[in-house]
């Protein structure tokens, strides 16, 4: 119980109103130490485990409210976390009227922050960048600072504030005590611990660099092209979802959020390109529950403190395992459970084992629900909403007789059917023919995919194309040319035989003449590629034909290729001769024109030079 820690009665009254009954594990370990002695301390615990109260209550207990000077500095990585810590500390100090707590962060009016600092607060909560600016302007007197708190130290250093944090620590008085709290303990945090802290008390809740035990971790194997479809299906499968979707880039974040909003979901984006006013509005709506899904980047979401999140969705797996730990720590807070979902491409599957090793718990492979499963989940939710709807009798009683008369012709079953269909039809229509999005990554399936089926060209016609290997052409690009010129992708194409100066392509017999006609049209075939139907039967893959037929077919194809090769060389020579003749004619014409101009030019007459 918090009463056992001998806290100030004013603090006890405030936290009792907030519903604080039993201290959380980190609080139960840290409070007795900081309330009984002045010491440096390192607290290792996951985000959302109650670290703010663990350092905030001792600060309020030990600070003299009548002394109007800065006695404690709390440093945190982001403005959102800065505002959240300030709000929490103010709620703990509700009944200590002399206590003043001021947030200092970037993106807000610096003039207003100057005015707040001029009132000489006892506690400043700040981000490193803006605090450095205040120090350079000599706006804050830190000579009486007794406590300095580094909250979310690992995130702060990961965001590139190493130099700022070092400069601030050097600027502070030597006789201060440092309290460092972090979810993980990377090398950079260890350096601060070793360089600036003196024999700190170490308190660790849970395993070092591990995840929250209250979070269940699932991953879904998907194809990269179906990532967004899988996200939508999971959101539909969890209709009561209240969570964050993490993306890698600002562009991807905005794109996913825009697509969700366009598809009718209650979503918003949070990334670095938003102004402070826009960020505040987005977070206000999200905290109040008006926004159901927040799509965010890691940098923008750092320090977010939102209660009751049910799901964290990794749209992409992060490159850094510590980032995964921080993401998953957004849910499962205050002894509540949560789910961390990861959409994993087959090529990213190797990352799963590394994450499992870091977390100390397995990531369960789950299957993306089918369209029928999604419809069943949505139907049950719709029925639950009908059962639990609040009926305001006083407001609707006057209208009910009219409604009863209007619907009296319907039976009970028909009425229920129509009510269900009213909001449920769109899911039935959307998932009517929904295909399975799960990826089978078993070895047997991979072998089947690798086995190439032989081309059956028995009913196809061979076409000659005046493009070959010397034109840097490949089968895929040749198919692309056919699709572009014909304007369709429905033509079935068989074996493609690339030669040095030309190629043979087996196509559906019904489409052969159509392809030739399309390539004969200069409007469609702007490159002037020559295409014609070859004589004889197309190349077949019938392995049962006799040896004589095989050699005869081979000799026939060789003769055919030689004829086309001779024709190509002849055309090339003819074209070369024609080009040379055109050049000569052009030069003769130019010379003739120049001579005619010289004849028309009047002769210049020069007088005799005068002699002196």
| pLDDT, tens digit, 9 for 90 and up, residues 82-101 | 988 999 999 999 999 999 99
Q: State the CATH number of the domain containing residue 272.
A: 3.40.50.300
Range of the domain at 520: 460-547
Looking at the domain assignment, is residue 452 inside a domain?
A: no
Instruction: Using the 3D structure, point to which of 430, 449, 475 is the last residue of a domain.
Output: 430
What's 250's DSSP letter?
H
Structural domain total, the chain: 4
**What pLDDT sits at residue 302?**
64
User: What's the pLDDT at 232?
Assistant: 93
DSSP annotation of 18:
T
Do residues 75 and 110 touch, judged by C-beta distance below 8 A? no
pTM value?
0.59
How far is the C-alpha of 278 from the C-alpha of 408, rounded, in Å?
Answer: 51
If one counts every other C-beta atom within 10 angstroms of the C-beta of residue 262, the result is 9
Distance separating alpha carbons of residues 210 and 325, to the nearest angstrom:
7
pLDDT tens per residue, range 369-388:
998 888 888 888 888 887 88
Among the candidates 386, 412, 430, a domain finishes at: 430
Contacts of residue 373, defined as CB under 8 A and 6 or more positions apart, other chains included, come to: 237
pLDDT in tens, 391-435: 877 778 888 888 888 888 888 888 888 887 777 777 777 887 888
Whether 442 is covered by a domain: the verdict is no
Cα–Cα distance for residue pair 450/219, rounded to 1 Å = 26
For residues 553 and 549, give the distance between their C-alpha atoms in angstroms, rounded to a whole number. 6
Last residue of a domain, one of 329, 352, 368: 368
> How does 407-424 read in b/e, with b if 16+ C-beta sit within 10 Å?
eeeeeeeeeeeeeeeeeb
Residues 306 and 182 in one domain: no
**Which stretches of the chain score pLDDT less than 70?**
47-48, 206-213, 300-303, 334-335, 442-458, 535-562, 564-565, 567-580, 597-612
- Does residue 293 form part of some domain? yes
Residue 197 shares a structural domain with residue 270: no
Whether 91 and 135 map to the same domain: the answer is: yes
186/83 same-domain check? yes
Alpha-carbon distances, residue 432 vs 232, 421, 428, 597 (angstroms) = 15, 14, 6, 81
Q: Is residue 602 part of a domain?
A: no
Is 248 in the same domain as 119? no
Collapsing DSSP to helix, strand or coil, 223 comes out as: coil
81 and 191 in a common domain = yes
């Amino acid at each position: 119980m918090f009463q056992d820690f001998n806290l100030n009665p004013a603090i006890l009254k405030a936290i009792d109103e907030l519903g604080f009954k039993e201290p959380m594990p980190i609080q139960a370990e840290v409070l007795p130490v900081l309330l009984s002695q002045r010491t440096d301390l390192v607290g290792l615990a996951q985000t959302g485990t109650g670290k703010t109260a663990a350092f905030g209550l001792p600060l309020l207990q030990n600070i003299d409210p009548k002394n109007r000077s800065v006695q404690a500095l709390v440093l945190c990585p982001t403005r959102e976390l800065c505002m959240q810590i300030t709000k929490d500390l103010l709620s703990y100090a509700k009944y200590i009227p002399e206590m003043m707590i001021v947030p200092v962060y970037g993106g807000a009016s610096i003039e207003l922050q100057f005015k707040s600092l001029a009132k000489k607060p006892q506690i400043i909560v700040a981000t490193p960048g803006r605090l450095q600016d205040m120090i350079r302007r000599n706006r804050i007197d830190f000579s009486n600072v007794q406590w300095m708190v580094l909250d979310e130290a690992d995130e702060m250093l990961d965001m590139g504030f190493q130099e700022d944090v070092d400069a601030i620590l050097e600027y502070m008085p030597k006789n201060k005590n440092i309290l460092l709290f972090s979810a993980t303990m990377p090398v950079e945090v260890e350096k601060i611990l070793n360089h600036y802290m003196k024999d700190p008390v170490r308190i660790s809740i849970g395993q070092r660099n591990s995840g929250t035990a209250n979070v269940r971790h699932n991953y879904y194997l998907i194809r990269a092209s179906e990532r967004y479809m899988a996200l939508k299906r999971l959101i539909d499968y969890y209709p009561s979802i209240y969570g964050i979707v993490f993306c890698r880039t600002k562009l991807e974040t905005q794109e996913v959020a825009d697509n969700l909003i366009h598809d009718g979901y209650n979503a918003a984006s949070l990334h670095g390109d938003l102004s402070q006013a826009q960020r505040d509005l987005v977070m206000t709506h999200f905290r109040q529950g008006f926004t159901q899904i927040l799509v965010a980047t890691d940098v923008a979401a750092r320090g977010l403190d939102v209660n009751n999140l049910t799901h964290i969705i990794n749209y992409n797996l992060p490159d850094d395992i510590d980032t995964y730990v921080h993401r998953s720590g957004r849910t499962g807070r205050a002894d509540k459970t949560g789910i961390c979902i990861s959409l994993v491409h087959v090529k990213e599957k190797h990352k799963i084992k590394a994450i499992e090793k870091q977390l100390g718990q397995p990531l369960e492979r789950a299957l993306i629900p089918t369209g029928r499963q999604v419809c069943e989940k949505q139907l049950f939710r719709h029925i639950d909403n009908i059962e639990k709807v609040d009926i305001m009798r006083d407001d609707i009683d006057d209208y009910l007789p009219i409604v009863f008369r209007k619907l009296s012709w319907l039976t009970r079953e028909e009425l229920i059917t129509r009510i269900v269909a009213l909001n449920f039809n769109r899911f039935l229509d959307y998932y009517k023919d929904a295909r399975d999005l799960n990826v089978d990554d078993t070895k047997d399936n991979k072998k089947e995919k690798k086995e190439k089926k032989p081309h059956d060209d028995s009913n196809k016609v061979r076409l000659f194309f005046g493009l070959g290997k010397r034109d840097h052409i490949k089968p895929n690009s040749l198919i692309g040319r056919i699709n572009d010129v014909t304007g369709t992708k429905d033509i079935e194409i068989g074996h493609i035989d690339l030669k040095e100066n030309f190629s043979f392509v087996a196509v559906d017999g019904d489409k052969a003449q159509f392809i030739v006609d399309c390539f004969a049209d200069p409007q469609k075939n702007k490159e002037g590629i020559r295409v014609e139907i070859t004589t004889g039967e197309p190349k077949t893959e019938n392995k049962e034909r006799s040896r004589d037929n095989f050699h005869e077919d081979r000799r026939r194809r060789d003769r055919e290729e030689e004829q086309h090769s001779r024709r190509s060389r002849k055309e090339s020579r003819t074209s070369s001769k024609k080009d040379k003749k055109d050049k000569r004619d052009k030069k003769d014409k130019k010379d003739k024109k120049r001579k005619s101009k010289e004849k028309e030019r009047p002769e210049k007459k020069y007088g005799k030079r005068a002699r002196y």
